[in-house]
A and B are shown apart, each in its own frame.
Chain A
Amino acid sequence: MKSLGRISIPAILSFALGGAALLMAQPARSGKPEPAPEQTQKLTASAIQLERIVPPADLLIPEDTRISVYENVILQLIKTKKFQHVYRSGDRTAADAPDLVILHLIPEAFKPGSQKEREVITIAGATSIKVKVQLTSREGKALLEKDVEGKVRFYGENLRATYDLAKKVAGVVNRSF
Chain B
Amino acid sequence: MKSAVIVFPGSNCDRDIAVALELVTGRKPAMVWHRDSALPDGTDFIALPGGFSYGDYLRSGAMAARSPIMGAVKDAAARGVPVIGICNGFQVLTETGLLPGALMRNAGLSFVCRPVRLKVENSQSLFTAAYDAGETVTFPVAHHDGNYQADAATLDRIEGEGRVAFRYLEEVNGSARSIAGILNDTGNVLGLMPHPERVVEPAHGATDGRRLFEGLLETVA
Q: Do A and B come from one complex?
A: no
